[in-house]
Chain A
Amino acid sequence: MSFAFDLYVDRSSWLHRLDPRTKLAFVVLSSILLLNYSHLSVSAAFLLGIHGILWSGKVPASRVRWAWQRMWPITFLILFLWPIFYPQGNEVLLQVWRVRITTQSLLQGLSTALRVDALAFAFLVLLFSTDQARLVRGLVKLGLPYEWGLTLAIALRYLPTLYGIYTTVSEAQQARGWVIGKGGFIQRIKSYLPIMVAVIVTALRLADNLSMALAARGFQSGAKRTYLRELKLGLADKVCLPLFAVSLIVSVIVRFRHSLGVP
C-alpha cells in the first residue's frame, strides 16, 4: 500500500547521500538532453546508464521491476500506435488494408517509447533515492516559500492516511450491504455518496486538528525558522554539478552546431 505513495527505499549509498538539489539538476539535465536528442541510440544508452546508476545506488531490483511493470503499458502503446499513425519511409514491412508498417516508423516508435521510459526513469532516480522530507527541503532551499514546502510535505504525508480512511469507510458501508455502483454514470457517482461524505467529513476534521497542532508547535506563517538538518553540498555534489553543467553545454553545441544525435 505505502509502495504507491512513497517510492523511497532507505539505503546507504552515494546516490542516497547526494544532495536533492543535485538530483533535481540531474532530472532537469536529463530532460533537456532527452528532448533534444531523439536518436534511438541516445535513449537506449541513457536507459542503460540510469540502470547502472540505480544498481550502484543500491536501489533494489524489485523496485526497478515494479517501475517497468508500470511502464510497460505505455511503452507498448507507443510502440504499437506510432507506426500506425506516423508512417514514414518506404521500406514496407507489413501492409494490412491501408495500414502500412515501415521499418523507419517502427524504429521511430521504439525510440520515442524508450525516450519516454528514460525520462520517467530520470525522475525515478530522484524519487527512489530521496526521502520526501529531503526532497521538500531541497525545493525550499531552491527558493520555494517554506509554507508551500510545508503544504507539499503535509499533502504527501497524509496521502496514506486518507487512503486508509477511504478503505475503512468503504468497508464500513459494504458491511451495511452497500455495493460499488452499477448502472449509468450518474448512478455510479451517486452510489459513491455514502463513502465520499464520510471521507470528506473525516478529512475536514483532520485538517481542523492539524491547524491547531501546527499552532501548538509554535508555527507562525512568515516567521523566521532555523533547520535541524541544513542541506550541504558534499564532495560527490561538487563533482557532479560542474559535470552536469559541462555536459549540458557540450550537448547543446553538439546538437545545434553539428546536428548530431537526431535520426
Chain B
Amino acid sequence: MIVENLHYAYPPLTPGGEPLPVLKGVNLRVRRGEFLALMGPTGAGKTTLCLTLNGILPHLMGGTFEGRVVVAGMDTRDHGPGEMSHKVGLVFQDPESQLFNMTVEDEVAFGLESLGLSPSEMEERVAWALEVVRLPGLRKRSPFQLSGGQKKRLAIATVLAMRPQVLVLDEPVTGLDPLGRHEVLAVIEKLKREEEATVVMVEQDAEAVMAWADRVVIMERGRLVLEGSPRQVFSQVESLHGWGLAVPQMSELAHLFNRRQGTSFHFITEDEACSALAGELQSETCTGPRRSKQYPIPNILYPVSFEHSSAVKVEDLWHRYDDGPLALAGVNLSVEAGDFLAIIGQNGSGKTTLVKHFNGLLRPTRGRVLVLGQDTAGQSVGQLARKVGYLFQNPDHQIFAPTVWEELAFGPRNLGFSEGEVAARTTEALALFGLRDQADTPPAILGYGLRRHVTLAAVWAMRPHILVLDEPTVGLDWRATRTLMEEVTNLNSQGHTIILVTHDMKLVAEFARKVLVLDEGRTLAYGPTRQLFQQEALLRQAFLAPPPITALARRMRLVLSPSTLLRINSAEGPYGLRGDSLTVEEFYQEYTALRRLGQGG
C-alpha cells in the first residue's frame, strides 16, 4: 500500500465557506504482512486518512484531493469504495453504525453478497470469519444484542470475510471494558500471527500499540511527524507528550530515570524494566520463577462503615429492570464527603445502574439510598440535581444549545435561579473551565475535548456537592484526559465528592482514593486504592488488572533475592521495596530511595 503526498480537504460546511484541510502531505508505505499502528491526538486526521485508504474519500464526500493512494496496484482515484472494498477492509470506530443487519450471519454475508459470491462460497467464508473472531454459535443473534467487545469483533469479521489485502482498524478497542478489550486484542493478535494480515490500526492506547505493532507512525495536524519501531518511537517521551500523546508506563519510567539520573535505559516492557532495574540492585535477573508464594500479601479490605459525614450512603440496594435481569444484588456503600471514589468492573456489572440511583434516574427495587443524609425516595430527579451532578459518557447526548453560554445557563435556569444568579454562575463556570473565548460559539462545532469541557462546566454551574462522572475520558486523547482530570482533582480539593466510573486503571491508580469493584451486581471489593491494587487475584476475578507500573513494583519486590532484601533492610529503611506504587513518579521515588539505602549498606 502506497500513500503519496496526500492532501485532502473536506468540502466547506456552508456554501461559500472555506474548505477544511485535514491531510497536508502524507507519505506512507505499508509492506505486506506488516502491522502498523497510527497514533495521534484528536483532530490529527487519523480517521480521515483511514477513509482515503478505501476511496470513501473523495468518492463519497467530495472535497479537494491531491496526491495518490494505491493499494495492491489499484489507485483510489480510478476505483470507488465499491471496488476498493475487495482490497481494503475498513472497520470504523463506532460499532453501532456499521452493524446494520438483523442477524450476525447476514452482517458477515452482506459484503459477500455485494461481491456476488455463490451461496456455498459465502457459507464457507462466513463460518471462517466468525471462527477467527471467536463468534461462532451466535449466527442468528441480532448484532444489537451483542456486548461491546462482541460488536467490535463482529465488525472485524464483516470485512475479514471479504478477504481484503489490507485491514484498517480505527480505534478497535476504544470504549470497551477490560474484558472486551482483551477479546478484541486477542483476535487482532491471531490475525497477525496466524493469518499474516496486513494491518493498519489507529489506536490511542500506547500499551496496546507497544504490544502489537511492528511499526508506529505518529500523526499530528495532518502530517506524519515520527515513525519507527515501538521502541524507537516510545523513547521520544517528551515529543510524544508535547503532541498530547500517551506513552507506555515503562517508557515513561525509563525516561524519568534517564532524565534525572543520567542513565540510558531503553526498556519498554515490564520484563525488560524488571531485569534492568533488578540488575542495578545487583540482584538476580527477572527470568527466574516468581516467588509469589513466599511473600503473601495480606487480604486487607475495608469494612463497610456508616459514618455520619457520608455524601452518599447505599444500604442493601437491589435493582431489577422491568422484564430484565437483576442488575444490583445487595450493594452497601458509604462515600465520605470530599472523597474520590472510583467504581470499576466489567460492563453489565452494575456500575451505571448504581450511580443512576444517586440522582434518582433509577429507583431502588429494594433497599435505600441516602444523599447528604436524606433518603432519595420522595426527591425528584430535578431536586436531586442540586446535590448530584451527573456527567454522561457522550457529550453529544446533552449538548443542544445555540451557544456555550446558553448551554451552561440551562442547568441553573432549570433549578429556578434568578436571571442574575444564572448569569453569575455561567460567567464563573466559563472562567473556571477556560471557556470564555467560546462563550458565543455553538458548542456542537467545538472539538471533542472542548465539548467534554463544556458538559463538565454545565454540570458544575449547578454547583452540586457530588459529581458523578460516567466514563468521562472515553475518546479523549492523553492531553485532554490530563486536563479534564486536573480539573476534577481541583474540584475535589475544593470539597466536592467525586465518583468516577471508568475502565482506565491508570486513572484510578493515580487519582482515586478509594475503589469499589463491582461484579455481577455485587460488591467484590471496596477499599483504599493502594490496598486494592495489591489484590491481583481478586481483581482477576473481575477480569481486571492493576496498571503496569503497579505490577512492576510488585514483581520487583518478589524477584529481589532475600539477601538483597536483607542488605536493604539491615540499612535504615523500615522495609524493602513496598511494591505498591500507583504512579510512575511514586515508583521512581521509592526505587531511588531503595538504591541509596542499598549502596549505603
Is A153 a contact of B102 with CB atoms below 8 Å? yes
Cα distance, A219 to B392, chains bound together (Å): 35
Given contacts A213-B98, A216-B81, A228-B106, contact A176 B398 (CB under 8 A): yes
Q: Which of A206, A211, A228 contacts B96 (CB 8 A)?
A: A206
Closest to B380 in A: A179
Is A176 a contact of B81 with CB atoms below 8 Å? no
Residues of B within 8 A of A157 (CB): 100-102, 142, 144
Q: Is B502 on the interface with A (CB-CB < 8 A)?
A: no
Question: What secondary structure prevails in chain A residues at the interface with B?
Answer: helix
Is B85 a contact of A211 with CB atoms below 8 Å? no
Cα distance, A229 to B368, chains bound together (Å): 52
Q: Which of A94-102, A120-128, A195-203, A235-243 sits within the interface?
A: A195-203
Is B98 a contact of A209 with CB atoms below 8 Å? yes
Is B397 a contact of A198 with CB atoms below 8 Å? yes
Cα distance, A145 to B116, chains bound together (Å): 17
Given contacts A171-B392, A176-B411, A213-B92, contact A226 B119 (CB under 8 A): yes
Q: Is A132 on the interface with B (CB-CB < 8 A)?
A: yes
Q: Is B162 on the interface with A (CB-CB < 8 A)?
A: yes
**CB-contacts of B233-288 with A (<8 A):** none
Cα distance, A163 to B563, chains bound together (Å): 64
Is B101 a contact of A225 with CB atoms below 8 Å? no
Is A228 a contact of B113 with CB atoms below 8 Å? yes
**CB-contacts of B557-596 with A (<8 A):** none
Is B398 a contact of A173 with CB atoms below 8 Å? yes
Is B102 a contact of A176 with CB atoms below 8 Å? no
**CB-contacts of A1-54 with B (<8 A):** 1-3, 6, 10
Cα distance, A156 to B102, chains bound together (Å): 9
Is A205 a contact of B381 with CB atoms below 8 Å? no
Cα distance, A106 to B253, chains bound together (Å): 86
Q: Is A172 on the interface with B (CB-CB < 8 A)?
A: yes
Question: Which A residues are within 8 Å of any B CB, using their own CB?
Answer: 1-3, 6, 10, 131-133, 136, 153-154, 156-158, 160-161, 165, 168-169, 171-179, 193-195, 197-198, 201-202, 205-206, 209-220, 223-230
Provide 29 A-B residue pairs closer than 8 Å at the C-beta atoms, listed in order of the A residue. Answer: A10-B140, A133-B106, A171-B361, A172-B392, A172-B397, A175-B390, A177-B385, A177-B415, A177-B462, A194-B401, A194-B410, A195-B400, A201-B399, A201-B444, A210-B98, A213-B98, A215-B56, A215-B80, A216-B85, A216-B98, A217-B159, A218-B111, A218-B115, A223-B114, A223-B116, A225-B113, A225-B114, A225-B116, A228-B106
Question: Which B residues are within 8 Å of any A CB, using their own CB?
Answer: 51, 54, 56, 59-60, 80-83, 85-86, 89-90, 92, 94, 96-98, 100-103, 105-106, 109-119, 122-123, 126, 140, 142, 144-145, 158-159, 162, 323, 356, 359, 361, 380-382, 385-386, 388-390, 392, 394, 396-401, 410-411, 414-415, 444, 458-459, 462
